Copies of this chain bind each other. A is one copy, B any other.
């Protein structure tokens, strides 16, 4: 059994063109290859404001597949702990034997989620997008903007959050990390003023109003990944010119598509990212279109990033091998 610690994984794996490409290929495989991806397993622990998801996907022909456990316990800040956590394991596709445990404390989930944001921006945001807006100031609010900066020349960031101190910390950190201007704005301004907007909150009622949309805007909605969550007014699904999601069967249960007034119509309208990355369908067609992509997070991303991390760490011999 190959074990890798959080530190080891963080020293070798990052958000970069390589990990973005790996996640793009994973989306493509979802529509071009034989993939078994069962529904997400979920445990809710309301007493501690906690939730645990288990995701998996087997891509036919690959030597391994991942089972990923990720948790979000939103009272952890009271204990001085991060809300997110988790680990990934790889099983051998031929024998079922556990091959590797990646004790990443949720880091690889952050990377593969951010990488999905980059893939989406690449195919759906307009070519000359320069201003990125972000709703939320947490971990993914940072990663998603860094991801967009991988594929578009971002010159300014507009951020909206609820807590003053979190906003200021976000601005300080991101101005250093990206070397560009980051401004605190109201939610409406973040939408009206940006070319690409990312929503990253666990909100249970819409934060973004349909009235605020404008020509050329792309929205990536990655906050909602559970029945109770919703970041966008449902009219937005109808108003956008291009509606996309990572996986229809997840989005209609856990994502923004769940809240569509006419769900079947929206499912018919929607394309999956993999249909676009594979070249089957087109993402954005003109600079004027309004586009939206809803991300719920897929097991095939976990399998892709876990195999990449395992193989890289093996090469680097950075893992701690525990003989069983």
Is A98 touching B103 in the complex (CB atoms < 8 A)?
yes
Is B76 touching A95 in the complex (CB atoms < 8 A)?
yes
Contact for A71 among B5, B86, B91, CB less than 8 A: B91
Report chain B residues within 8 Å CB of A96: 45, 48, 50-52, 71-73, 76, 85-86
Report chain B residues within 8 Å CB of A51: 96
Is B38 touching A41 in the complex (CB atoms < 8 A)?
yes
Q: A56-B54, A71-B91, A95-B81 are in contact. Are A65 and B43 (CB under 8 A)?
A: yes
Report chain B residues within 8 Å CB of A3: 3, 322
Contact mask A72-110 → B, CB, 8 Å, 1/0? Answer: 110010010100011101010111111001010100000
Report chain B residues within 8 Å CB of A44: 36
Q: In angstroms, how far is the closest chain B Cβ from the Cβ of A84?
A: 8
Q: A41-B41, A98-B103 are in contact. Are A324 and B5 (CB under 8 A)?
A: yes
Q: A73-B94, A95-B73, A97-B85 are in contact. Are A38 and B42 (CB under 8 A)?
A: yes
Contact mask A30-70 → B, CB, 8 Å, 1/0? Answer: 00000010110111110110111010101010000101010
A1 to B270, CA, bound (A): 42
Chain B: CB-nearest residue to A74: B96
A91 to B105, CA, bound (A): 12
A39 to B43, CA, bound (A): 10
A6 to B97, CA, bound (A): 13
Contact mask A152-188 → B, CB, 8 Å, 1/0? Answer: 0000000000000000000000000000000000000
Is A98 touching B81 in the complex (CB atoms < 8 A)?
no
Is A98 touching B87 in the complex (CB atoms < 8 A)?
yes
Is A67 touching B54 in the complex (CB atoms < 8 A)?
yes
Chain B: CB-nearest residue to A60: B47
A209 to B71, CA, bound (A): 47
Is A43 touching B47 in the complex (CB atoms < 8 A)?
no
Q: A6-B324, A69-B67, A101-B101 are in contact. Are A93 and B54 (CB under 8 A)?
A: no
A44 to B60, CA, bound (A): 11
Q: In angstroms, how far is the closest chain B Cβ from the Cβ of A59?
A: 11
A44 to B38, CA, bound (A): 10
Report chain B residues within 8 Å CB of A39: 41
Is B69 touching A41 in the complex (CB atoms < 8 A)?
no
Report chain B residues within 8 Å CB of A86: 96, 98
A48 to B91, CA, bound (A): 13
Report chain B residues within 8 Å CB of A42: 38
9 sample A-B contacts, Cβ–Cβ < 8 Å, listed by A number: A3-B3, A7-B324, A38-B41, A43-B58, A50-B94, A50-B96, A69-B89, A86-B98, A103-B324
Can you list the 5 inter-chain pairs with the closest CB atoms, starting with the nearest? A71-B96, A73-B96, A41-B41, A48-B94, A85-B97
